[in-house]
Amino acid sequence: MLAATRRWFNRNRTPLAVGVGIVGAGYVATQYVLSKLSDARERMSSDRIAKENLRRRFEQNQEDCTFTFAPEVIMHSRSQDEEQVRDHYDRGDDFYGWFLGPRMIYTSGVISDIDREETLEEMQDNKLAIVCEKIGLQPGDTLLDMGCGWGTLARFASEFYGAKATGVTLGRNQTAWGNNAMRKAGIPEEQSKIVCCDYRDTPTVPGGYKKITCLEMGEHVGVRHFPAFLKQMHDLLDDDGVCYFQLAGLRKYWQYEDLIWGLFMNKYVFPGADASTPLGFYIDRFEGAGFEVRNIDTIGVHYSGTLWRWYRNWLANKDKVEAKYGKRWFRVSFSSFIFICSVADYL
């Protein structure tokens, strides 16, 4: 099955990538009605769709690049980052819970048993444990989780490893949710807490944090500020500390379809997340900031499995989403899931 899917992807990669901007935007605007993943695959891989709409999409892409994407890449001011993050993540905890599930983790889980279908919660627990083990987390270690989301990793590290965790997020809802969850788990504020602030205002601790984690927040810093961000992380870290980063990257050799997909994601899904780059960019910047790179993992297959479970959760809660947030927001996330599910295990 995997080999057959890979062959399909290789045959249809160009029209698929060109089609995603067309079909994704069209579906959000209710021009198309898609009922399942296979419908989207067929629609996106259609040569006719690509040829009929390429010029129109090229003109729209030029407009998006000139008036939206380029200014955001150049600026990434505090006010811009705050507006984008809060507009996106303060939409409502229930909105995200309807696909993320009770763990409220918006990053990839990890498959540990290929002989059975693990639940989303099992995959996320696997990932949390792997992160804590990779950084060698010990009781009493000070941990900074940069871009902590709803604070689940900080809570997990506090509850099961005895860490003194500080989570940082710009999301007000995420901050309240994370702190409430910690108190319910019996973790006192004196031990661990979630702080609502810009990453540039991250609180320091004497001697530096023993461990720092940053799971898919770095992309939101932006290409322009990425070196300074890493230098800040290096300065916040204890001299013998360990830092763990997870980032969503791109292939090295840029192609036009990468731009189309990036513009769609920037417009509808992750505004301001323009620091998704090839691996070489990251390694060069990490080493330039003073880090020694010890280990690299590629988790595209695990991300595909995570997205597939998000997609099924989203479909199961369609009526709730549309009743509270309208059909447009259901379609925005739906069109993102169906494309990434198709290709994440090849990236």
pLDDT digits (tens, 9 = 90+) for 174-200: 999 999 999 999 999 999 999 999 999
**Is residue 146 included in any domain, yes or no?**
yes
pLDDT > 80? residue 317: yes
Q: What is the pLDDT of residue 71?
A: 55
Give one DSSP letter per residue of 207-265, joined into a string.
Answer: T-EEEEEEES-HHHH-TTTHHHHHHHHHHHEEEEEEEEEE-----SS--HHHHHHHHHH
Q: What is the pLDDT of residue 284?
A: 96
Residue 209 falls within a domain, yes or no?
Answer: yes
- The closest of 234, 71, 171 to 226, measured between CA atoms, is 234
Residue 246 belongs to domain with CATH number: 3.40.50.150
**157 within some domain:** yes
- pLDDT category at 14 given cuts 50, 70, 90 is very low
For 63-94, the pLDDT digits (tens) are: 554 545 555 555 667 666 666 666 667 788 99
| HSE, side-chain direction, 13 A CA sphere, residue 165 | 32
For range 217-240, the mean pLDDT? 92
Domain assignment present for 54: no
Q: Which of 86-100, 111-125, 280-294, 311-325 has the lowest mean pLDDT?
A: 86-100
Give the up-direction half-sphere exposure of residue 62: CA atoms within 13 A in the CB hemisphere: 5
Structure confidence at residue 87 (pLDDT): 66
Mean pLDDT of 318-326: 92
Percent of residues, the chain, with pLDDT higher than 70: 64
Mean model confidence pLDDT for the chain:
80
| pLDDT above 60: residue 37 | no
Mean pLDDT score, 109-118: 95
Is 20 within a domain? no
Q: Would you state the pLDDT for residue 250? A: 76
For residue 215, pLDDT over 90 is answered with yes
Q: How far is 158 from 121, CA to CA, in rounded Å?
A: 18
In tens, the pLDDT along 129-165 reads 999 999 999 999 999 999 999 999 999 999 999 999 9
Res 58 pLDDT > 70: no
- Copy the structure tokens of residue 139: 């009781």
Does 217 map to a domain? yes
Q: Please check whether residue 61 lies inside any domain of the structure.
A: no
Please determine, for residue 32, whether its predicted confidence score (pLDDT) is greater than 80. no
Evaluate the CA torsion angle 330, 148, 125, 346 in order and state its sign.
positive
The boundaries of the domain holding residue 274 are: 78-347
- Give how many domains the chain has, as a whole number: 1
**Per-range mean pLDDT, top range of 14-18, 25-29, 130-134, 258-262:** 130-134
Flag whether 294 is in a domain. Answer: yes
Confidence of residue 249 (pLDDT cuts 50, 70, 90): confident
